[in-house]
């Protein structure tokens, strides 16, 4: 066989192979770039909908996700739970903002663990909200569940080699069949501030009674020792 013929054939084969590899490389590169772009878009969407400190959904995402839960064809009874830490500013003032951030992250983690598969979000500052499924019209269950939540949240938090006990004021508002999420959050917020105005270093739970148009409030008290 003519060496020149072999060489020419080899060059042609190598050229073809190079062309194939080139386009495969371009395709692989395009796929890789698309994958990176998808990850970047996912990260951007997550950043836009989640609190950067705690990783919980933010206020906007809470209302979007909550509305989707309420619109589910599977019917549940829901309750809005609003949690606001007592004297949280003192934690920042006495121990620094890094300690305050650690407290917020711990509270967020505990609230999420307590809620399980239910929706929990950080509204801002030291205020958190949850949309929890509950037994229908069972105020006794709601009271006990709230007491357990307060006890769970108030367990000592190890910060700067010391144990901090942070208590919370909690407001509850059952979702009405004809109500919306914003109304329930406002009811829970009102109940929470009523609880906060009554005492510090305690947990009080106020459940609006919707059977009364005046808005009578049932009050459940639970003291947490500091």
Residue whose token pair is 């190598």: 14
Contact (CB, 8 A) for 200 and 87: yes
Q: Distance (Å, rounded) from C-alpha 217 to C-alpha 109?
A: 30
pLDDT, residue 223, reads 40
Q: Distance (Å, rounded) from C-alpha 199 to C-alpha 178?
A: 33
* Domains in the chain: boundaries: 1-49, 59-223
Tell me the pLDDT of the chain (226 aa) as tens digits: 444 445 666 666 667 767 766 667 766 776 766 666 666 666 667 678 899 999 999 999 999 999 999 988 777 889 899 999 998 999 999 999 999 999 999 999 999 999 999 999 999 999 999 999 887 656 677 777 777 887 888 889 998 888 999 988 888 888 887 778 999 999 889 888 887 877 654 445 555 544 333 333 333 444 433 3
Report field, pTM of the whole predicted structure over 0.75:
no
- DSSP structural state of residue 103: H
Homologous superfamily in CATH for domain 59-223: Reverse transcriptase/Diguanylate cyclase domain (3.30.70.270)
Q: Distance (Å, rounded) from C-alpha 79 to C-alpha 136?
A: 10
CA dihedral 65, 208, 123, 155 (to 10 degrees): -110
Beta partners for residue 171, in sequence order? 82, 206
pLDDT, residue 85, reads 93
Residue whose token pair is 């969407």: 45
């Amino acid at each position: 066989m003519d060496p020149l013929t072999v060489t020419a054939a080899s060059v042609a084969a190598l050229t073809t192979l190079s062309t194939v590899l080139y386009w495969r490389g371009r395709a692989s590169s395009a796929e890789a770039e698309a994958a990176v772009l998808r990850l970047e878009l996912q990260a951007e969407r997550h950043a836009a909908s989640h609190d950067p400190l705690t990783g919980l959904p933010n206020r906007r995402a809470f209302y979007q996700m909550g509305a989707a839960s309420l619109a589910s064809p599977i019917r549940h009874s829901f309750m809005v739970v609003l949690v606001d830490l007592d004297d949280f500013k003192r934690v920042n003032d006495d121990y620094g903002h890094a300690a305050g951030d650690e407290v917020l992250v711990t509270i967020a983690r505990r609230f999420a663990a307590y809620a399980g598969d239910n929706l929990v979000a950080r509204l801002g500052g030291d205020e958190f909200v949850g949309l929890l499924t509950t037994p229908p019209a069972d105020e006794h269950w709601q009271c006990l569940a709230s007491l357990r939540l307060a006890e769970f949240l108030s367990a000592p938090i190890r910060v700067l080699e010391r144990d901090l006990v942070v208590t919370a004021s909690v407001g509850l508002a059952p979702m009405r069949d004809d109500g919306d999420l914003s109304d329930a959050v406002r009811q829970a917020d009102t109940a929470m501030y009523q609880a906060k105005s009554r005492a510090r270093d305690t947990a009080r739970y106020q459940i609006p009674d919707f059977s009364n148009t005046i808005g009578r409030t049932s009050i459940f008290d639970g003291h947490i020792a500091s």
